[in-house]
Amino acid sequence: MLQIISLLMENKAGALMRVTGLLTARGYNIDSLTVARTLDAGLSRMTIAVDIEPHGRRQLIKQMNKLINVLQATDLSEGPAVTREMVLMRVRASQESRTAILKESEIFGARVVDSTLEGFALEATGDAEKLDEFINTMQSYGEIEVTRSGAVAVSLDSKKLRLSPPIPRGETMLVEEKNGVA
């Protein structure tokens, strides 16, 4: 079972590397990682799916929170959260199976984004298990090619609700002249 870590971070060169560096330095494999900017273009939201035992995960999240570019790292596996993933899929469909594929797609709530004589391009969202099922089902109709987005998640914890752009809460300091040689 994968756990989800959600990070709010500065949208800066190198920030991604600092976060993933903490994982690789400890030998953890990243199952999926998504990152995109938030309402505040200076900030990004990153969602990481990993499998780490609880003590290691707690320690890792503390280390992530210490990174200068990270405003907040949260373990979403510990509270209510919703996780979604998107899959883009091409299916090669024979004339006979086209209708069945469309019916099946409807059941999974997938949309057709492209249709050619060879087959379809489909788009589906859902949690990882549902998408796995969808992919399995489609495989039975013929050759498929799949791209998954990786998980994005949002906490449903009312304490963590942020309807407006998050307000940075870190350090501001005045630069004081110190007694140097100048």
Contact 61, 5 (CB under 8 A): yes
Taking CB under 8 A as the criterion, the residue among 1, 13, 117, 163 binding another protein is 13
Residue 157 neighbours by CB under 8 Å, 6+ apart: 79, 80, 81
Q: Pick the closer one to another protein by CB: 7 or 93.
A: 7
DSSP 78: G
Closest separation between CB of residue 176 and another protein, Å? Answer: 8
Q: Pick the closer one to another protein by CB: 14 or 80.
A: 14
> What is the chain's Cα-based Rg?
21
The rounded Cα 110 to chain-centroid distance in angstroms is: 20
Q: Pick the closer one to another protein by CB: 129 or 171.
A: 171
Closest separation between CB of residue 155 and another protein, Å? Answer: 19
* 3-state SS, residue 100: helix
Contact 81, 143 (CB under 8 A): no
**What amino acid occupies position 19?**
V
Sign, CA torsion 110/143/147/152: positive
The residues in 103-142 that bind another protein, with binding defined as CB under 8 A, are none
Compute the distance between CA of residue 4 and CA of residue 7 in angstroms, rounded to an integer: 10
Q: Pick the closer one to another protein by CB: 9 or 151.
A: 9
Closest separation between CB of residue 21 and another protein, Å? Answer: 6
Q: Pick the closer one to another protein by CB: 63 or 137.
A: 63
Near another protein by CB under 8 A, which window of 45-53, 54-62, 77-85, 134-142? 54-62
Which residues contribute to the site for another protein (CB under 8 A)?
A: 9-10, 13-14, 17-18, 21, 25, 43, 58-59, 62-63, 65-71, 168-175, 177-182
